[in-house]
Structure 1
């Protein structure tokens, strides 16, 4: 059971839990979003829920997917924004080509170079995101 589920089972809001545990509301929000909690925060939350520190740490370490919560970001999030950027780039290049009477092959080639750089950027972004979310040994 996640912190959010524990809090909701007690009928507490984030503000109420923050007051009871003597933590900031922002700290509660960060922990509920899946960010790691400090040892002091774990102890304060454990006291608030009448649990041991180890039991609270285990509950916080449980993956959010196990409790039925959707992941914060999906694979499609960066694709959506990168896709809109690529379409904008292609539209600008073709628009400039038309405005200055450039050869359409030149405009298409420039747009393809931009698209290739966009795909490379997307690949790097996804690689970095996967490396950050991978568990460390």
Structure 2
């Protein structure tokens, strides 16, 4: 059996023995009508454990991990939702956004479909008077309040 793998820019055709091959394809489901509301509900009523607001304490550092632009993650909804839940508990300068890049990104953040993965978080932070500061001392990013 001939299978086309999603590999590189054009794909890769391979011949496999059907007697020992099982092809697993994803099931595509429509997105929720109110995606922001679903995210907010998940943060406030998780499947297991306490809500996010109950897990964080003033004075603590919080890291938000997001996939890079090569992964289908709703960063433009997720990061602002998490920041909204942290609002009033953790200072903005104590929040670090980590972008998980794979070897496919060649160490460049913000490449791929959907554009810059930081864009949603930066926009939300700018609306709150925060600007992004370059990484330093081993930290991937830091935020500082603008005057």
Shorter chain as denominator, the TM-score bin is under 0.3
Look at both structures and tell me which one has the larger radius of gyration over its CA atoms: 1
> Normalization by structure 1: what TM-score?
0.21
- In proportion to residue count, which structure has more strand? 2
